[in-house]
Amino acid sequence: MHIVDRRLNPGSKSLENRQRFLRRAKALVQGAVKKSSQDRDIKDVLEGGEVSIPLDGMHEPRLRREGGTRDMVLPGNKKFVEGDMLPRSSQGGGGKPTDPGEGDGEDAFRFVLSRDEFVNLFLDDLELPDLAKRRLTEAESEGLHRAGYSVSGSPANISISRTVSRALARRVALRRPRPETIAQLEAELAECDDRERRAELIAEIEALKAKAKRIPFIDPIDIRYRRFEPVPKPMAQAVMFCLMDVSGSMSEHMKDLAKRFYMLLYVFLKRRYRHVEIVFIRHTDRAEEVDEQTFFYGPASGGTLVSSALQAMTEIVRARFRPSDWNIYAAQASDGDNLTSDSELTGRILTQSILPICQFFAYLEVGEAGGYSFEMPNSSLWTLYERLRADGAPLSMRKVSDRSEIFPVFHELFQRRAKQEKVAP
């Protein structure tokens, strides 16, 4: 008999098969990812996780029979006698149809995607160009962290104290004779006259010396090196403000567009920063900070005062996010309706307190489904922002009315940015 330990063999032999499967099911999985990212929270986009895909497209057909007369033998008869007729519909009747695994129950199955797989498919769907990806990876800088000790390394990294203490422990454990002991014996030998005793001492000294030689003072196995591990250096933290007008004129479609934009922004920031906070501010004629659920799904209605949201944002920044410690991003989504009387105030808050502290401020004007963004008439907010921009305020603004436009718009907005600078108009 033979026992083989295969546990150390690389597992996931199926990895390649899995990748092949994913490649083949790409369209399906992508659809599922799209769908699932719709009803998940922004932060969960990066979590990966389960998606369910229809098995139909991945079905492996076989020639199999169905229908016709069937005979079956079942266990567990309690009351039937020969000749009984069992109505088909009733529960206790013929038991379950006996075609287990014949495809009927298999119309969809849940599929667990890893984080990376998920994000890749998510971004892939949006066709994140390589250009942007490269820039993102460059932004990540690496630092070295101490990470304990290792048995191999470069001589420069030898940890002397650790090595010596290990050597000491080894010497003690193996009872290496101490030099003092030998010295003492030698001294005794020098003074000793008795021949027998001398021979004894000499033998003992020889033995000790030989032993000392066998057990070196420092053995290669004692040597320890300081180990360093590259760690992504935390690039500081970022906060992302999601501002949204939720007055009655914002339709589900518009919110969906906004949500997608926020998601992208989040994924983008998440790859750049270690720690990203999200603040959701919704406003009608007054603004409030809410959680994500309420933000996207809570009903609200009333007039529209954009300035209220901006005001709320400056207050939150003042209270919780010191601009010197935080990189602040804001994205505002709105259908563009605002009270004319509010323009003045809005413009002032923006230029005076918000834009100076923001890394990036994007305004996204969302339109109804089926419309064309370039056909959207300039709204009051758009006109206002346009004017500010003309005056040199670092604002990015785009109109979007279809899901497919989100990524190009996003890309455009970010493409313009020079490295760490503020957004150029």
Site residues (vs another protein, CB under 8 A): 1-7, 9, 11-14, 16-25, 50, 58-78, 80-88, 91-96, 98, 100, 103, 109-112
- Residue 376 is encoded by which pair of tokens? 């959207």
Using an 8 Å Cβ cutoff, are 236 and 327 in contact? Answer: yes
Using an 8 Å Cβ cutoff, are 301 and 165 in contact? Answer: no
Nearer to another protein, 91 or 137 (CB): 91
Shortest CB 398 distance to another protein, Å: 39
Using an 8 Å Cβ cutoff, are 272 and 235 in contact? Answer: yes
Shortest CB 20 distance to another protein, Å: 4
Using an 8 Å Cβ cutoff, are 243 and 333 in contact? Answer: yes
Shortest CB 83 distance to another protein, Å: 6
> Residue 153: which residues within 8 A CB-CB, separation 6 or more?
225, 226, 227
Nearer to another protein, 35 or 320 (CB): 35
Shortest CB 94 distance to another protein, Å: 4
**Cα distance between residue 251 and residue 246, in whole Å:** 9
Q: Which among 23, 79, 231, 26 has a CA at the least distance from the CA of 141?
A: 231
Using an 8 Å Cβ cutoff, are 416 and 423 in contact? Answer: yes
**Cα distance between residue 40 and residue 259, in whole Å:** 10
Three-class secondary structure of residue 398 per DSSP? strand
Nearer to another protein, 82 or 194 (CB): 82
Shortest CB 118 distance to another protein, Å: 14
Shortest CB 260 distance to another protein, Å: 27
Shortest CB 54 distance to another protein, Å: 13
Nearer to another protein, 25 or 388 (CB): 25
Nearer to another protein, 12 or 152 (CB): 12
Shortest CB 127 distance to another protein, Å: 23
> Residue 346: which residues within 8 A CB-CB, separation 6 or more?
306, 307, 310, 338, 381, 384
> Residue 66: which residues within 8 A CB-CB, separation 6 or more?
99, 102
Nearer to another protein, 103 or 408 (CB): 103
Using an 8 Å Cβ cutoff, are 29 and 122 in contact? Answer: no
Nearer to another protein, 4 or 173 (CB): 4
> Residue 372: which residues within 8 A CB-CB, separation 6 or more?
401
Bridge-partner residues for 149, per DSSP?
Answer: 226
Shortest CB 10 distance to another protein, Å: 9
Nearer to another protein, 8 or 156 (CB): 8
Nearer to another protein, 109 or 372 (CB): 109
